[in-house]
Amino acid sequence: MRYHSPSIKKFVVSLCDKFGINQEEAFLHLQENFPELWDKERCANCGASMQMYEYSVDPVSLLLLQKMGHVLKLKMLSGKTFTEANQIHLSTEIEGYTVISHQTITSKLGLIAKVKNPDGTHNRQAGWCITRRGFDCLQDKEVPKKIVVFRNKIIERSSEVTTMSQVYKEYKGKKYDGEISKHNPSNWYNVASYFPGNFIEEEDIDE
């Protein structure tokens, strides 16, 4: 389990340097009188968790992205615009409870995002959309293999990267073989040029 390091040390050192306070005595005083400042699990100020969460790319999360892409294309064939088609209600438009349950991981990885109302709240009727990073993934471009999240913000992306094809190739199970085999990166190569300006790009992620 990883925790985000508090900035108390830098803060105290800065104060000591500014006002000529002995650092060793300052730290000793704080440790004796304010032990909560050294609690790595909870913020001493607000009590919020300092825990960081790590999410890795996995086959089922990518399968959810693939299924959403398939739904998007079917909607466009029916006459919807790209923006309209890229609003997918998971529970009614995506098959497979296990796949849908990976919505949290897929969104944390930045591959999909909530469709937002003008006030920034989740438009639950519209559902979810594929982000630019998600379309990159569908095109088999490299994406970070894992990310680290702290308080709903991505604070670290691994230097190690992977692709959709590579993750699928390493998949050892049999349950999703038929659906995985349908993925064709070439179907997505020109999507950016066809629909410029309609992508969601998010660094802040959804709960």
Residue 186: C-alpha distances to residues 18, 68, 189, 190 (Å): 60, 16, 5, 8
Give the C-alpha separation, 50 to 42, whole Å: 5
What pLDDT score was predicted for residue 192?
Answer: 54
| pLDDT tens digits, 97-110 | 999 999 999 998 98
Q: Please, which residues bridge with residue 150 across strands?
A: 153
Give the C-alpha separation, 202 to 110, whole Å: 7
Backbone angles phi, psi at 134, to 5 degrees: -65, -40
Nearest to 24 by CA among 10, 38, 12: 12
What pLDDT score was predicted for residue 203?
Answer: 45
> pLDDT under 70 in the chain at which residues?
1-7, 38-39, 41, 44-45, 191-207
Give the C-alpha separation, 28 to 42, whole Å: 20
The pTM assigned to this predicted structure is 0.75
What pLDDT score was predicted for residue 15?
Answer: 85
Helices 8-19 and 23-33: angle between axes, nearest 10 degrees? 130
DSSP E strands, 112-158: 112-114, 128-130, 143-144, 146-150, 153-157
What pLDDT score was predicted for residue 68?
Answer: 95
| pLDDT tens digits, 179-191 | 888 889 988 877 6
Nearest to 205 by CA among 86, 95, 128, 109: 109
| pLDDT tens digits, 25-45 | 888 888 788 877 766 767 766
What pLDDT score was predicted for residue 161?
Answer: 94
